[in-house]
Amino acid sequence: MSRRHDPTKARRHWVYTREQVCRRFSVGDSTITNWIGRGLRSIDDKRPQLFAGYEIRRFITGMRWPYGRSPVSGRLFCSVCPGFKALKHGSIKAMSIGIACYEVTGLCINCHNIVKSRIKARGLPEIYEASTNTARDSSDVISDEVSGGVGRSGVPVPVETNSFNLRVLQGYIVYLENHQNLDVRTVDEHLRALARMSAFFGHKDFEKITIEDACSFKGELRSLCSDEGRGILSLSTVLHTLDRCRVFIEWLERQADTERLSDLAGYFSLSRRERAIEASTVKGTSLTFDQALCIFSAMPNSSPIDLRNRAIVAMFIITGMRIAALITLRGKHVNMRTRWVNQDPREVNTKLSKHIRTYLLDLGSGFLEALDEWVTWRNSNGFGHDAAFFLPDRYIQPNALGFGYKEGNVEIAECWKSEEPVQRLIKEAANLVGILSNSISSHDFRKVLHPFLIKRGEMTIKDEVALQLNFGHTPQEVIRKHYSFMQDSEREEVLDELCRRALTSRSELDLYLAYERKEISEKDADFRRAKEIFERNMYQRHKSDQQVCVF
């Protein structure tokens, strides 16, 4: 093929028309015709012609690597559930080709897709060893007794194989994107929930789903719902899965060409008690600000990659920024002099394409200093405003000959294409301080900042509004009621004062007494706050004395 197409551009659970495949891979209609001649299969012989996402991935992967990709630690690359996976024990077949080469085929342990690769003879024992040790070495094992099971490690559910269901899903995708205006990631979550449901039903026609099927599916999810054990679904996951299935069934009932399903959608809902339990459950991780600070402090700073990694963790802690936005930042978006990060949705991948202005909070402990050190190294090596702010490894590692780093003026440094490198470095940093890596991700830092400030900083409504704006939230009711508009300069003052209150160890009473007794000097960082507390209490005392005199 003339170009190296990326098979991951096609999402596994999606269904694409012929025109969508052309746009996604930037090819012409004649190329699709050639692909069909070379083995790309459509879901059926009807029109319009539709292609399953997992089938497109399989075909393009086969074109790029006709003999399969080289194995890693005895695991072969699976194009349906992307990644190097072990083969299912008992399904491995090795055919000798030449003197020291074998063609190995087998079933992926995750999705049971057939994978193959040509390997050298000395690598064959590793293939068998990986297939017999998957339960110990891999956390991505699907139990054979649970169809469509999905663990917290991101195990994919079996893909849809019913051609009728695939045509229904294509219409549902159009409905979610064009009528509900949902973004791609949200639509993908809907399709994953439907794939889990369809896999449980053995990929039977959606129109033939009965009330008994819905009750058995809900019971199966309940049995998987537990707070203990790896690979067990949480109550929140069960609730969202059932809600997405219910929305799909309601949409299916409204279609003119389908039979009435007699209130089937209502059976995809949990009881009021279970929904109340889920709503009252504390969301997120148990990671605290002190633990985040411990992770940051334990990270080394000896090499440029270490400086970048420390700066990434510091950015997460003091801004609560989403990882999708962080990996797409460029030099022009971060100003360390003013401490403002301009998340422009035209260049930065923000949620719902919102324009977010984020202020770097001064929480001490060397967070801002870590960012300054990274910016200094970055600028001194010629990486300008258009280059990625957090440079991928290939731009800051020594080259193959050991002659130093790639200069920034040679080419514009591009941003990461995936979140995986950042998630990996976070888990490695967590392991340094003994925090389980499977219980922490980048989004956990976003949930650390608010509890710390509200507990230590005695947060007011004005502080809450400023912090929510910094996160990129839009608390419309609070803003309309109290603050119709907050300028950046005002937000700076509010957030700086909030951070000062959070970092001090003295209570309001201590500051009041210290100011009254003149035990605090103007050079003290808490002097201004102590003065405000004293004046506010004196005003309230004077007002109460006047009311007593009137009576």
**Helix/strand/coil (H/E/C) assignment for every residue in 521-542:** CCCCCCHHHHHHHHHHHHHHHH
- Largest Cα–Cα distance of the chain, in whole Å? 108
- Tell me the β-bridge partners of 335: 340
pLDDT, average across residues 293-316: 90
User: Is pLDDT of 403 > 50?
Assistant: no
Domain boundary among the residues 28, 43, 64 is at: 64
Residue whose entry in the numeric block shows the structure tokens 């801002």: 368
111 compared with 63, residue with greater pLDDT: 63
Q: Write out the H or E segment, with its range, that includes residue 356.
A: strand 356-359
> With 60 as the cut, is the pLDDT of residue 317 above it?
yes
What is the band of 35 on the pLDDT scale with cuts at 50, 70, 90? very high
Least confident piece of the model among 23-32, 173-182, 285-294, 362-371: 285-294
- Least confident range of 5-14, 168-177, 231-240, 494-503: 231-240
Structural domain boundaries enclosing 493: 448-549
CATH code, 59: 1.10.10
Of the ranges 27-31, 285-289, 293-297, which one carries the lowest mean pLDDT score? 285-289
The confidence score (pLDDT) of residue 57 equals: 87
Strand 76-78 with 83-85, pairing: antiparallel
What is the CB neighbour count within 10 angstroms for residue 40? Answer: 19
Whether 100 maps to a domain, the answer reads no
So what's the pLDDT on residue 114? 81
Closest to 383 in 3D by CA, of 411, 403, 404, 402: 411
Residue at token pair 């280059």? 387
- In total, how many domains does the chain have? 4
Q: What is residue 472's predicted lDDT score, i.e. its pLDDT?
A: 85
**Last residue in a domain, options 425, 442, 459:** 442
Residue that has been written with the tokens 């440029």 in this structure: 304
- Asked if 339 and 392 sit in the same domain, the reply is yes
Q: Name residue 45's amino acid.
A: D
CA 123, distance to chain mean position in Å, is 35
Stronger pLDDT, 422 or 130, i.e. the higher one: 422
Report the distance separating Cα 117 and Cα 66, nearest Å: 8
CA distance 84 to 131: 12
Q: Count CB-CB contacts under 10 A for residue 115.
A: 25
Is 542 inside a domain boundary? yes
Do 265 and 340 belong to one domain?
A: no
The reply to whether 271 and 380 lie within a common domain is no
Do 397 and 503 sit in the same domain of this protein?
no
Q: Is the pLDDT of residue 17 over 90?
A: yes
Confidence of residue 549 (pLDDT cuts 50, 70, 90): low
The reported pTM is 0.57
**Residue range 381-392: mean pLDDT, rounded:** 89
* Statement: residue 385 has pLDDT above 80: yes
Check residues 509 and 37 and name the one with the higher pLDDT. Answer: 37
Question: Does the pLDDT at position 149 exceed 50?
Answer: no
Q: Tell whether 359 and 434 lie within a shared domain.
A: yes
- Under a CB-based contact definition with an 8 Å cutoff, are residues 426 and 313 in contact? yes
Same-domain check for residues 269 and 322: no
Among 17-31, 59-73, 278-292, name the most confident range: 17-31
Instruction: Give yes or no for a contact between 319 and 470, defined as CB atoms under 8 angstroms apart.
Output: yes
Which runs of consecutive H residues, i.e. helices, occur in 161-271? 163-174, 184-200, 211-224, 235-253
DSSP 77-119: EETTTTEEEPBPTT--EEEE-SSSEEEEEEEBTTT--EEEEEE
CA-nearest of 245, 247, 252, 152 to 197 is: 245
**How much is the pLDDT for 341?**
93
CA distances from 464 to 355, 357, 459, 494 (A): 19, 16, 6, 10
**310 and 421 fall within a common domain:** yes
Predicted confidence band at 85 (pLDDT cuts at 50, 70, 90)? confident
Q: What are phi and psi of 120, to 5 degrees?
A: -80, 160
Rounded percentage of the chain residues whose pLDDT exceeds 90: 18
Q: Which residue has the tokens 């009528």?
A: 179
> Is the residue at 137 inside a domain?
no
CB 88 within 8 A of CB 16: no
Does any domain span residue 131? no
> What are 184-216's pLDDT values in tens digits?
888 988 998 998 899 888 888 988 888 899 889
Q: How many Cβ atoms sit within 10 Å of the Cβ of residue 341? A: 23
Enter the tokens of residue 195. 């794939």
In total, the chain counts a number of residues equal to: 551
109 within a domain of the structure (yes/no): no
> Binning pLDDT at 50, 70 and 90, where does residue 310 land?
very high
Q: Is 339 helix (H, G, I), strand (E, B) or coil?
A: coil
- Measured between its terminal Cα atoms, the distance across the chain in Å is 93
Task: Provide the pLDDT for residue 256.
Answer: 62
- The answer to whether 145 and 167 have CB atoms below 8 angstroms apart is no
Q: What is the pLDDT of residue 479?
A: 58
Nearest to 295 by CA among 408, 428, 103, 386: 428
Same domain, 376 and 302: yes
Beta-ladder partners of 17:
50
Q: Which residue has the higher pLDDT, 547 or 460?
A: 460
Same domain? For 265 and 312 the reply is: no
* Measured distance CA(462)–CA(459) in Å, rounded: 8
- What element of type H or E holds 424? helix 420-432
Q: Evaluate whether residue 276 is within a structural domain.
A: yes
Residues 24 and 49 placed together within one structural domain of the fold: yes
CA atoms of 77 and 71, how far apart (whole Å): 7
For 240-293, write each residue's pLDDT tens digit.
889 999 999 989 888 865 555 567 888 888 887 877 776 655 555 567 888 888
In a domain, 95, yes or no: no
What amino acid occupies position 132? T
Q: Do 187 and 216 have their domain in common?
A: yes
* Structural domain includes residue 362: yes
Reduced to 3 states (helix: H, G, I; strand: E, B; else coil), residue 50 is strand
Query: 419: how many CB neighbours lie within 10 A of its CB?
Result: 15
From CA 5, how far away is CA 40, in angstroms rounded?
Answer: 14
Q: What is the CA radius of gyration of the chain?
A: 28
Calculate mean pLDDT across residues 99-128. 83
pLDDT recorded at residue 376: 92
Q: Nearest 5°: phi and psi at 398?
A: -60, 145
- Look at residues 467, 452, 298, 435 and name the one whose alpha carbon lies nearest to residue 366: 298
Residues 51, 82: contact at Cβ < 8 Å? Answer: no
Last residue of a domain, one of 442, 474, 489: 442
Distances (CA, A) of 116 to 39, 255, 353: 16, 42, 41
Let me know whether 465 and 371 are in one domain: no
Q: Which residues contact residue 260 at a Cβ distance below 8 angstroms, ignoring those fewer than 6 apart? A: 253
Residue 112 to residues 32, 43, 135, 144: CA-CA distances in angstroms? 27, 19, 16, 11
pLDDT at 476 over 50: yes
Q: What is residue 387's DSSP assignment? A: S
Both tokens of 87, joined, read 């083969």
Helix (H) or strand (E) holding 135: helix 134-137
pLDDT at residue number 84: 85
The DSSP secondary structure of 497-514, one letter per residue, reads HHHHHHH----HHHHHHH
